[in-house]
Amino acid sequence: MKTVTVGERSIGGLPMGVVWGFVATLIFMAGDGLEHAWLSPYLIEKGLTVQQSATLFAVYGGVLAVASYFSGVLTEMWGPRKVMIIGMIAWLVGQVLFIQYGLKPNNYAVMLPTYGLRGLGYPLFCYSFLVWVTYRSPDRILATAVGLFWACWSGGLYVVGSFFPAFMLPKIGYIGLLWSAVIWVFVGGLVGVLVVKDDAMGQAGNGKEKLKSLISGLTICMEQPKVAIGGVVRIINSTGIGSLPIFFPLYLKSKYGFTTEQWLQVWGTMWFANIIFNLIIPYISDKWLGWRKTIMWLGSFGMGVMLLVLLYTPQIFGSSFLALNIVGIIMGIVLCGFVPLSALVASMAPEKKGSAMAIVSFGAGMSYFIAPAIVGAFIGLIGVHGVMWIFAGMYFLGTVLMHFMKVPSEERKTAKNVRLQKQARQGHTGF
């Protein structure tokens, strides 16, 4: 049920509360992303092994995956504001404890639960706000509203979260950056909590019914195997790219002399290109390629190729900062090929779109667990080159899986073509 107040101030049809919520999302995610691209190399330089660092991120990713899956139903049960407050508090408490009692004394046993606690933060804060956006935004501009949410989410996490550290690291250092993240998240969280109300949520069904709906997100994988395939592709989507900050900047630094600041600039430029082309690739997908082929060839196959290009570029061009930036830009563009995946998976279960989207969200969260788990398991055995080939292989696997993700209209068209070819062969034989 949509509840958009008549006469309410708006910008481009979007209520002011939603617009300010986008600002809050960008600020919150900027704070959340300030350490993602450099924390692993920093921990390793402080004495942790690559495997220990990967385990830390795997714990974080596991908590994040669970929070991502439950964020929607909790929002409908309790309202978005309460869930956002829980997410903000979990993030702030986890961050403070992580810095003060885990990172400073280099206490790995404390790092694991405190960084894991922080993993509850952004899914509960941001995804509950996204649910509120779907209620508050008029249907005619809902797609635009959701697109703006993801633009702010990515812009905060990857763009501001990369360029701000690149600029400030020499001035305030690593620990100073982590404390500044507390300010970013507190400000973004406060703005979000002030502008979001619980008056726009649907009231259909009681808590038990909504929990039953949540569980249907698992049963739908058996009812609609294509939804499960879509969930696997969503895991692959973020796993390869999400693994890079764990080990690749350290490899670039030790082998080719790239600084942390240079890596952060490459990482931020890549995501800046990604945000720009996120507005272009969906248009191309809708008009010409189609959802499935865009995901198959541009997203899956393209990312598999570009991971290998990223791996071998320093070997060919040495410590060329320009060459690495160009590769990063192209990688950010081809990553946009996964944008139609949510729409494609939802189309596979038109009567249970909510359950289908729960699988997509869970897949996105699981990638934060699987990526560091693979790094931790294999980096010591097969090195950086072997791990990069594993992730490239996963993207190539995604290309194969997308072959089975034909929408009903494609299947009807394929069946018709097979029928016509069969009739043509029979007619030719009969003649």
Longest Cα–Cα distance of the chain, Å, equals 86
- Burial code (b: 16+ CB inside 10 Å, e: under 16) for 166-184 equals beebeeeebeebbebbbeb
Cite the DSSP H helix spans in 206-340.
Answer: 207-223, 225-256, 260-277, 281-284, 291-293, 302-317, 321-335
Q: Does 14-197 match 218-417 in CATH topology?
A: yes
CATH topology of domain 14-197: Growth Hormone; Chain: A; (1.20.1250)
- The pLDDT, as a whole number, for residue 32 is 95
Query: pLDDT tens, 39-76?
Result: 999 999 999 998 999 999 999 999 998 898 888 778 87
Q: Are β-strands 10-11 and 14-15 bridged in parallel, bridged antiparallel, or unpaired?
A: antiparallel
- Residue bearing tokens 């250092």: 173
CB 332 within 8 A of CB 270: yes
117 CB-near residues (< 8 Å, 6+ apart): 63, 90, 93, 94, 97
CATH superfamily membership of 218-417: MFS general substrate transporter like domains (1.20.1250.20)
Neighbour tally for 63: CB within 10 Å: 24
Backbone φ, ψ for residue 223 (5° rounding): -75, -40
Question: Over the stretch 130-164, which tens digit does the pLDDT of each residue have?
Answer: 888 877 777 677 667 777 888 898 899 989 998 99
pTM of the model: 0.81
The torsion angles phi and psi of 251, rounded to 5 degrees, stand at: -65, -45
Distance CA 22, CA 18 (A): 6
Distance, CA of 104 to CA of 178 (rounded, Å): 11
pLDDT in tens, 340-383: 887 788 788 877 766 777 788 788 889 989 999 999 999 999 99
Q: Where are the domains of the chain?
A: 14-197, 218-417
Lowest-confidence region among 115-124, 245-254, 372-381, 416-425: 416-425
d(CA 104, CA 89) in angstroms, rounded, equals 21
H helices of 280-407, where?
281-284, 291-293, 302-317, 321-335, 341-348, 353-401
pLDDT of the residue at 86: 96
Residues 49-59: tens digit of each pLDDT = 989 999 999 99
Alpha-carbon distance of 83 to 208, in angstroms, equals 18
Name residue 175's amino acid: I
Q: What is the mean pLDDT of residues 329-345?
A: 89
